[in-house]
Amino acid sequence: MKIYIIIPAYNEAGFIGETLLSLINQTLKPNRIVVVDDGSTDNTPNIVAEFASKYSEVSLIKKDPESEKHLPGSKVINAFNEGLKSLDEDYELICKFDADLIFPKNYLEVITKHFQEDPKIGLAGGFCVIEKQGEWVLENLTGKDHIRGALKTYRKACFKDFDGLKPAMGWDTLDELLAQYYGWKLKTDKNLLVKHLKATGKNYSKSSKYKQGEAFYRLRYGLIISLLASAKLALKKGKLSFFSNYMQGFFKAKKEKRPFLVSEKEGRFIRKLRWEKMRSKLF
């Protein structure tokens, strides 16, 4: 299967080289690796340019820096979409990868097999591990039924069904919800462990703390599901104060009548899916 990879990058000079090496040395080679430099102020573009001069599959796009701060969702997806514009349509799998990952050598080979073995799989991914006290352990945000935003691989037909990635907080949940709305399956592989070299959210600004609650509102979760999702996420992150932040973001978005990311029909499907998942975990 023809694989295209897009890597948004902002000040990743300490990591991007290792990421590219791990992709270039895959047992199944990707056809294209596009790195979108999003206005880096360090050596990131020079490192990528050096790789591009040696490996034909690697290319660099320099995106004009945006005035927005490094908020979760919008900035990274705007960069991803810039990379997408530079590619043709001759691919079967499209990947959105972060610039601070080290992939096992067989990552793309195994992921591709999952898509080949089940034509209803629309998204697939492994799991992120981080280093703690000399050991690589699962990142605490990792769930067995969720593919982390750092390492998404989409089947082209699925990607087209939900019209690509939306530049908003919650994009990496929205894609999975809409994929299921259109009848696609998600696939996670617990044996594919990808080293995540930088903690998630390290560069997020203080103003981003309300964005998660805003995302719950814009996904049409409704109040009850948003309360439960906020509590769960705050517990997972080990900071109960986050619960208040998330709900403040929810009510702020509601008061301001922020535009929804999904239609009413999609919202009903999403709420039903969420309730079914919660019931299955309880019972």
Per residue in 189-198, pLDDT (tens digit) is 999 999 999 8
pLDDT attached to residue 283: 67
Alpha carbon of residue 259 to chain centroid: 21
Q: Where are the extended beta strands (E) located within the chain? A: 3-9, 32-37, 58-62, 93-97, 101-102, 121-132, 135-138, 151-155, 185-196
* Number of residues written out for the chain: 283
CB atoms within 10 A of CB 277: 11
pLDDT attached to residue 133: 85
- Digit-coded pLDDT (tens) for 133-147: 889 998 876 668 899
Least confident of 94-98, 197-201, 244-248: 197-201
Q: pTM of the predicted model, to two decimals?
A: 0.92
- Domains located in the chain, CATH noted: 3-196 (3.90.550.10), 208-282 (no CATH)
User: Is residue 82 pLDDT above 90, yes or no?
Assistant: yes
Average of per-residue pLDDT across 88-106: 97
Alpha carbon distance 137, 129 (integer Å): 5
